[in-house]
Structure 1
């Protein structure tokens, strides 16, 4: 398996949907299926928070959601849990700054997709040097989904990395919805990552469709 090409990674990041059992009103499988119908381009399984699933229950849900992704040819990424990702032969992993170093994770996963969260220029440089395929930057806007969320970043880091000629694919995360997506893309992000903008919407299909249309519209302006 070869490393993913940059242009393909950019396309996958258009509408990056993150979900776990604690983020849903309806069943995770139902929400993911509807979101894919609406146009999400990448999926991350993130099972965290109070009352999150553990052990066999977590594995069962992961397999169910991975099967849905495979059916629709959407890459399936696992948040933090490298062992689970390898056991499932997931398409990749996403790690934060408090997880194992990116260089160590890269060795473990080979050429699978590696996403790394970065909050400043130094972290971004280190992630690129360690072999990250994309960077997750944020929180762009205030968010209540992550209990350990860092201070709000705004779009400054995205713009700074592009001004410094970073070519690595970038995705914005944190408090993003269709109404505030445009500035993120205009600053230089390849896409947006969301949880509740889709999982708590009245219609996951409609929410995903609106996000996708907004991203595509503003990408064409760059």
Structure 2
């Protein structure tokens, strides 16, 4: 599945920390009902068999809502299950190697923090960039925060979509207006909510104001 900038608007990243009494499948479907436009499955603890089974279920949900579905880090499982693509960080497999593995038709996202990393990722075949953390975040304890100016500089030098990530919620998302981003990626802002569908819908409306200004 190829995608366009509109698919980047509200990018949901899963996290089991917020499951409570729900299953991940239930939470993801609520987010999709609320208008999430992209889904990344992020799993650090599951064994490969359980990961594959979970990914297959979520892939079907995303197909139902016509939303791109990518796997975080695990290129083997992404290839095995024919996911729409893969997202990798700076410490994971190098972007060019990932592109060689997944082929030209799959989506490749890369996390970057500098203009140099952004240009290299684009050159090596990235379809979009995740840039952050733009605010302090509890989802990734070791994530360093980058400035608005650094985010804007990255958006200015690349031709592919940029998604801001890290600590974004309804109270601060409008601060990203004018940066040039195509959307935001969130974890707890959606999945920690009591009403995931409602929270997703409200966050999406705010984000539309950010990317259209």
Shared fold (TM-score greater than 0.5)?
yes
Within 5 Å, give how 1:115-154 maps onto structure 2: 115-149=109-143, 151-154=144-147
Partner of 2:100: 107
Deviates more, 1:20-29 or 1:152-161: 20-29
Q: 2:34 aligns with which of 34, 38, 54?
A: 38
Name the CA shift for 1:24/1:157 in 2 (closer, same or farther; >3 Å).
farther
1:178-198 CA deviation, whole Å, 9 max, x = no partner?
121112242111100000111
**Structure 2: distance between partners of 1:163 and 1:12:** 20
State the aligned residue count: 211
Note if contact 2:15-2:191 (Cα within 8 Å) is conserved in structure 1: no
Q: How far apart, CA to CA, are the structure 2 residues paired with 1:73 and 1:82?
A: 22
Note the aligned Cα RMSD (angstroms): 1.5
Task: Tell me the alpha carbon deviations over residues 52-72 of structure 1, each in whole angstroms, 9 at most, x when there is no partner.
Answer: 221322222111111111111
Q: Which runs of 5+ in 2 are unaligned?
A: none
Q: What residue number does 2:7 align with? A: 12
Q: CA–CA distance in 1 between the matches of 2:165 and 2:156? A: 20
Map of 1:94 onto structure 2: 87
Q: Measured at CA, do residues 185 and 107 of structure 1 come closer, stay the same or move farther in structure 2, by a change above 3 Å?
A: farther
Q: Tell me the alpha carbon deviations over residues 90-147 of structure 1, each in whole angstroms, 9 at most, x when there is no partner.
A: 0000000001110010011112000000011111111011010001000000111123
Q: Does 1:160 align with 2:153?
A: yes
> Where in structure 1 are there 5+ consecutive unaligned residues?
none
CA distance in structure 1 between the aligned counterparts of 2:212 and 2:110, rounded to whole angstroms: 26
TM-score, length basis structure 2: 0.94
Q: Contact conserved, 2:132 with 2:145, CA < 8 A, in 1? A: yes
Scaled by the length of structure 1, the TM-score of the pair is 0.90
Partner Cα separation in structure 2 for residue 57 and residue 148 of structure 1? 27
Provide the residue aligned with 2:211 in structure 1. 219
The answer on whether the counterparts of 1:184 and 1:192 sit within 8 Å (CA) in structure 2 is no
